[in-house]
Amino acid sequence: MITLLTGDNNFEVKQALAKRIAVHTSEVEYFDGEEQTISGLADMLLGQSLFSAKKVVVVSNASANSQLWAALPTWLAKVSEDSEIVLVEPGVDKRTATYKWLKKHAEVEEHAAWGERDTPKAEAWAVSHAREMGKGLDKKVARTLVARTGVDQWRIHHALEKLTLLDEITEADVENIVEQSPSENIFSLFEKALSGDAKKLHEKIETLSLTEDAYKAMGLLASQAFQLAVLASTDKSSAEVASDMGAHPYVLGKLSPHAKRLGRSGARQVVQALATADMRLKSTDAEPWAIVEQALLQITKHPS
């Protein structure tokens, strides 16, 4: 049997591979396809037929080796049906002849990374994953957890590894134990600006500037400002807007009071301040975090 596991959701790919390996009692061999030769390809795929015991062959990143990737269909066609061949490809060019051959002759599993639209899925998964780890997780607590970690399954998994050591998992535990994701950190920064807290804003920037990239931070701030503007220009609830936009309902819920206070005009000023800062980041040699801070300080002065 031949399987292709592909996609940028590294967690799901590793889980899928582990499940396939778990059902076999036979030996498992791992190969880095990027470093293999054509002759090595033949040995790793067909050499196992010399043994009475079945083996599982896992080949990673073969598509990074153009010659090997092109030769795969020829050699895979010769593999015994009793053999288990698993190809692991984080990203694969679907235009190649090899991918098209695999679509016809192999089982192809695509595991895409989750985005904000997958927030409900991430929250449900956190509950079920905690159960698998032997702990109950309240839906409300799961919502707080995902708001803290983002929809990255590795971050959720590692957070649950810590939380499941507790007798009971509460929202307070999540806030005290789980580190904020970069997007949550930047949202916290944006909230301080919207709340007019210049002192805490400066302190937060001093901390973030040690570990976070200012250009990436500006991208996240721009996204949050856009969400603020949408909330300020509609009569829909934050939950409805979150559903329409595929955004995190927790974030929009916290932005909603600011949107109502600022109104369309105030939200437009916030967007403009960040747009100007973004242009400065791209066109001047000034210190990036200083530009970000100046824009956010301008936002702190917006009238109610």
pLDDT of residue 241: 87
3-class DSSP assignment, residue 150: coil
Give the pLDDT score at 38: 80
Give the pLDDT score at 54.
Answer: 66
Burial class (CB in 10 A: 0-12, 13-18, 19+), 219: middle
- Are residues 243 and 277 part of one domain? yes
Query: Both 187 and 170 in a single domain?
Result: no
Picking from 95, 110, 125, the residue at the C-terminal end of a domain is: 110
Domain, as residue range, for 144? 116-177
Q: Whole-model pTM?
A: 0.69
In which residue ranges of the chain is pLDDT below 50? 49-52, 304
Structure-token pair, residue 62: 């073969």
> Is the separation of the CB atoms in 138 and 166 below 8 Å?
no
Same domain (yes/no): 289, 193:
yes
User: Are residue 57 and residue 154 in the same domain, yes or no?
Assistant: no
pLDDT for res 40: 80
Which of 75, 92, 110 is a domain's end point? 110
Residue that terminates a domain, selected from 72, 88, 110: 110
d(CA 139, CA 133): 16
Q: Give CA angle at 38 (36, 40), nearest 5°.
A: 55
pLDDT of residue 49: 45
Is the backbone of residue 89 left (phi > 0), alpha (psi -120 to 50) or beta? beta
Q: What angle do CA 50, 55, 56 make, to 5 degrees?
A: 135
pLDDT value at residue 259: 92
Residue 160: burial class (beta carbons within 10 Å; 0-12, 13-18, 19+): buried
What CA–CA distance (Å, rounded) separates 90 from 11?
11
- Does residue 121 sit in the same domain as residue 205? no
Q: How far is CA 109 from the centre of its chain?
A: 18
pLDDT of the residue at 35 = 87
The CATH number of residue 212's host domain is: 1.20.272.10
**What total number of domains does the chain contain?**
3
